Structure 1
């Protein structure tokens, strides 16, 4: 058997096993952050294979499939066995009051490696509880001329590597994820424009009680559950996904204008009011029910739209 055929087979088997473990719940999707981070080692392994596969030392080329197997299955196995060291997770809490004259809230969030929850605040405030390890998230909140702006940037980093002691190899830590929790509560009476970039994460966005005007969501290797409400007449939603899955819940009586540009992805919906562009103006006359302009694009992604 040619070494390149063996290597390709090993890669497919290993990737398939990790996806299987993801679907069965044994391994979290965050493990792909670690697997993809080893890309320089994959290039080195391929180089060794190319150099030696047609030489007298062609047995050295076996390093290539072994390397791929170790660095793809290794992080998944390490997470499954639960051999992670305890981490010191710190927490930042703060709250800002929305001024009475503020008529627009613009929120820009950058999040990765953890679980994010967005919901309505109990009062006219912005409340945040942000967990972090190492570097504290950077946040800024300002209000002027009737507009409030909130920006939060996640600065956490991956912590994985191989440790060598006086006796040689001592520990392998494949942690490329951070199980932190972010909880963000936004004022439900102020019109909201929300922009979220989320990577290697799980996102629970209950926007049903917020006056949402627009949502821009960029996901990479992530999951998201999004619930829209009826507090706005028109909602513009732009979903950009790569290796991600989104469950979108909308009011059953809402009208949805859908535009999609997806490679190797899928979309499912049933018993919903999907309208064409020339029908949107007529649908806006429906009282009490929003019109949702939904743009869906990405690769290797899945979108499920359900009514409630």
Structure 2
């Protein structure tokens, strides 16, 4: 009898789990719904304790069902009012667009940017805060062709001195092309920038932005990353498939790069970087005011590194500062 009851609850749990995934795919629940596990995991301990008090007469699958229902309820209670359905949107030739905008509140000093995208062309740049002092981010998302599973999702939420901005279009675009264009304020410290995408191309210009952690997970990529002398240490984790990566970094920035991959082109032959253990390091790394630590993992591809001349640099041979190929 107990085994039959347990089988029923296991079946109910799988059905409920499937319904939740369908709700994610069709836009009834946001994909960041699963992040609520971090907030509610102590409930599992409570439910498990109740089961022990009842002499284990409650199947564990029933505990999971109650926990999943609690996640759903919590998600609706905590859902942000800033959804794309309330954002300005319209049509372009052969497609649609959504405007993205999040205010820069007076007490905000830090920001997090989370992008969950399908295949996309990117145009990201920093903007001088004085020119758009009331915005932490603004831009647009454009797609051509049909939308596969409802509208993309955009939310922003401020807690203390930090604004968390998130945009989700993963598994929502059908056939066609999509492009995201973002302008990011230079008045905040970005303690986290996270991009999860399919095939991605374009430029991400962070030269004006102070970023502590940058994580990019993508499929086949053809992207340019630009960095500037911002006075902070930036840790970069890049995990991609077949990739053509252009890095543009000023010469006065301390740079440490580790590259791994099954078939990556890593035949570094340029001057200015020294192989130390498994890392390529610039001689000025320890003394540099701005540092970038990069961990690059790719299935196949190459990395082109361009070291920009700093204005006023007395180095004579400017011709030697050309693109270096890994």
- TM bin (shorter chain): 0.5 to 0.7
* TM-score (normalizing by structure 2): 0.56
Superposed displacement of residue 275, structure 1: 7.1
| Alpha carbons 1:255, 1:274 under 8 Å: kept | no
Question: Relative to structure 1, is the Cα distance of residues 115 and 302 closer, same or farther in structure 2, using a 3 angstrom cutoff?
Answer: same
- CA distances 1:180-223 after superposition (whole Å, capped 9, x unpaired): 22101111121112111221221310110111222111121121
CA distance in structure 2 between the aligned counterparts of 1:136 and 1:245, rounded to whole angstroms: 31
The answer to whether the 8 A contact 2:118-2:173 is kept is: no
Q: 2:226 maps to which residue?
A: 227
Alignment of 1:1-12 (within 5 A): none
Match of 1:208 in 2: 207
1:97-117 deviations in Å (ceiling 9; x for gaps): 112322211101122333111
Shift of 1:138: 0.8
**Cα distance, 1:263 vs structure 2:** 0.9
Unaligned runs of 5+ in 2: 1-91, 309-326
Per the alignment, residue 152 of structure 2 pairs with 137
Moved over 6 A (4+): 277-282
- In structure 2, what is the Cα distance between the partners aligned to 1:256 and 1:116? 24
Give structure 1 stretches of 5+ with no counterpart.
1-85, 160-177
Flag the 1:112–1:272 CA change in 2: closer, same or farther, 3 A: farther
User: Does residue 123 of structure 1 match 2:139?
Assistant: no
1:150–1:275: structure 2 CA closer, same or farther, 3 Å change rule? farther
Distance in structure 2 (CA, Å) of the matches to 1:131 and 1:275: 43
Find the partner of 1:150 among 127, 142, 165: 165
Partner of 1:270: 270
Q: 1:187 to 1:87 in 2, by over 3 A?
A: closer
| Matching residue of 1:95 | 101
The count of residues paired between Structure 1 and Structure 2 equals 203
Per-residue deviation, 1:244:
1.8
8 Å Cα contact 1:194/1:216 also seen in 2: yes
Q: Please show how residues 41-190 of structure 1 align to structure 2 within 5 Å.
A: 88-121=94-127, 122-124=131-133, 125=135, 126-132=137-143, 133-134=146-147, 135-155=150-170, 156-159=172-175, 178-190=176-188
- Normalised to the residue count of structure 1, the TM-score between the two structures is 0.59
Distance 2:306 2:222 in 1: 16
Contact 2:252 2:288 in 1 (8 A): no
- Residues 267-305 of structure 1: CA deviation (Å, up to 9, x unaligned): 347344457489899844334xx1111101121132222
Q: Distance in 2 between matches of 1:130 and 1:120?
A: 17
Which gives a bigger RCO, structure 1 or 2 (Cα 8 Å, sep 6+)?
1
Structure-2 change in CA distance of 1:97 and 1:87 (3 Å): closer
How far off is 1:226 after superposition? Answer: 0.7
Equivalence for 1:19: none
Cα distance in 1 for partners of 2:221, 2:102 equals: 29
The change in CA–CA distance for 1:139 and 1:274 in structure 2 (over 3 A counts) is: farther
8 A Cα contact 1:269 1:305, kept in partner: no
User: For the residues of structure 2 that align with 1:99 and 1:269, how far apart are their CA atoms?
Assistant: 47
1:106-132 per-residue CA deviation (whole Å, 9 max, x = no partner) reads 101122333111112342311020113
SS at match of 1:244: strand
Q: What RMSD, in angstroms, separates the aligned Cα atoms of the two structures?
A: 2.7
- Any residues of structure 2 matched to 1:277-292 within 5 Å, and which? 283-287=285-289, 290-292=290-292
